[in-house]
Amino acid sequence: MPLQSDRIEASSSSAGMRETGATAAGLTWLQGTALYVGAVLGTGVIALPALAANMAGPASLLGWLALILLSIPLAATFSALGARYPDAGGISTCVKLAFGPYPAAVVGWCFLFAVPVGSPAAAMFAGAYVEAAIGGGASTLMLTALALVLGITLINAFGVTLSGKVQVIVAGLLITFLVTALCASMPHVRLQNLHPFAPHGWPAVASSAGLLVWSFAGWEAITYLAGEFRQPARDMPRAAAAAVVVIGILYFAVASATILVLGTAAAATAAPLAALLAAGLGGPVKMLAAIAALLLTAGTMNAYFAGAAKLGAALGRDGALPGWFAQGSDAGGIPRRSLLSLAALTLIVLVATAVAHLRVEALVLMTTGAFVVVYIAGTAAALRLLEPGTWGRRAALVALVFDILLLTTTGLYLLWSAGIAVCAVIYLYVTRGRTG
C-alpha cells in the first residue's frame, strides 16, 4: 500500500492530468472509436474463428459470446479510468495512484513488452493471407510482416493525430469489407453444421476462450492515449460505447458464419474470411481477403504502437524505464524514442520467430497472458479509484471476476508475464536504490 504522502502527491498529479487532458489533445470521439475498433477487432477476426472452431467446434461460439459480454464491463472500466486520469501512462498510471510504483511498473512492462511479441503474430496472420493470394511461401509472409511493422512505425512517427485520421479510413474500409463477406455468405448457412455442438468436450470451450482473449485485447490500449483526446471525460465513454456495439456484432457474426457456412472445413482453413468470400461470391477472392487482412492488421498495430509508444515515454518519465525514453510523454508530444525502440524489439522478435520456427499460437498466448495481468491490475485499481455507486466501479467489479477466471486459461504461458514482472521490480528497486 502506498504511503499517505504518496497518495496525496498522486491525487494532486491526477488532478493536473485531468486539467491538461481536457485542453491539449486532438483526437475526436469518432477517431477514438476507430482506434478502439482497430485495437480490438483487428487480427482476431482474420484467423481466430477457425482456430477456435478447431479447438472446440461449434461450442466455441459460447466462448465468443462470453468474451463479447466481458467486453462491456472492461470497456466501461477502462474508459472511466481514462476519462478521469488522462495520462500517457494509462493503466500503469492508475495502478500507481491506487497501489504504488512497483505494481505500476509491473503493469507498464507487461503491456509494453507484450506488444513486440504480439505484433509479429498479427503481422504474420496478415502475411499468410497475402501469401495465399500471390504465392511466394515464407518469403512473402515475412516481407509482408516487415512492411507492416515499418509502415506503422512511420505513420506513428508523425504523431497520434495523423494515426487517428488514418485509423478512421481503415476502420471504415474493413467494416465495409466484413459486412460484404457476411452478406455474400448468408445463402450458404446450414444449421446442421452446429452438430455435433461440442465434439471435443466442454473443457475445450474454456481453452478456446483463453485463445480468444487475443481477439478482445485492446480495451486498455486506448487509455494510454486518453490525454490525446480533446475532451477525455466526454469523448472516451462515447468512443468505447460505440466500439462495443460495432465489435460485438461483427465478431459474433463472423464466428457464426465461419461455422454455419464452412462446417467442418472451418477447422481446416487458416483464412476463414477468404473461405466465406469464396462460398458467397466464388471466383478469385484471395486478393480481396488479403487486402482485408492487411487493413485489419494495420488497424490493430497502429492502435497498439501508438499506445505502447506513449506508455514507454511515460514509464521513462516516471522512472520505470531509463529517462532517455521520456521524450514525448506530454500530451501532444511524439514519443519517437520509445516508438523506435518498440519497432526494433518487434523486428527482433519477428526475425527470431522465423529463424526458430516458433508457433504463432505461442506468441498469441504469451501476449494474452500479459494482457490479462494488465486487466486484473487495472480493474482492481478502478475499484479503489472510482467512486462507489458509479457505473464504472460496478463494471470494474464484474470485470475483475471474469479477468481472474481468464487468468486460469493461459496456463504455462503466464511464466512469460511472471518473468517480465520480476525484471520490472528488479529494475525499479535498483534504480531507486541508486537515486535514494
Distance, in Å, from the CA atom of 237 to the CA atom of 234, rounded to the nearest integer, reads 6
Whole-number pLDDT of residue 155 = 85
H or E element: which one contains 142? Answer: helix 137-156
Whole-number pLDDT of residue 280 = 73
Q: Express each pLDDT in 297-354 by its tens digit.
A: 887 888 889 888 989 999 999 999 999 999 888 877 889 999 999 999 999 999 998 8
Over the range 369-385, which residues count as b (16 or more CB within 10 Å of their CB) and which as e? bbbbbbbbbbbbbbbeb
Q: Which DSSP category does 27 fall into?
A: B
Distance, in Å, from the CA atom of 215 to the CA atom of 44, rounded to the nearest integer, reads 4
Q: All domains of the chain, ordered by start, with CATH?
A: 4-435 (1.20.1740.10)
Please name which of 277, 283, 215 lies closest in space to residue 247, comparing C-alpha atoms: 215
Residue 68's alpha-carbon distances to 73, 235, 242, 254, in angstroms, are 10, 22, 14, 13
- Determine the average pLDDT of the residues in 180-184: 83
Burial class for 388, CB neighbours closer than 10 Å (0-12, 13-18, 19+): exposed
Whole-number pLDDT of residue 345 = 94
Check whether 292 has a pLDDT greater than 50.
yes
pTM assigned to the model: 0.77
The half-sphere exposure of 217 on its side-chain side, counting CA atoms within 13 A, is 33
- Determine the average pLDDT of the residues in 247-276: 79
User: What φ, ψ does residue 229 adopt, rounded to 5°?
Assistant: -75, 150
Distance, in Å, from the CA atom of 391 to the CA atom of 376, rounded to the nearest integer, reads 18
Distance, in Å, from the CA atom of 191 to the CA atom of 17, rounded to the nearest integer, reads 53
Q: Which DSSP category does 387 fall into?
A: P
Q: Express each pLDDT in 104-122 by its tens digit.
A: 999 999 999 999 998 998 8
Q: Express each pLDDT in 132-165 by its tens digit.
A: 888 888 889 999 999 999 999 998 888 766 666 7
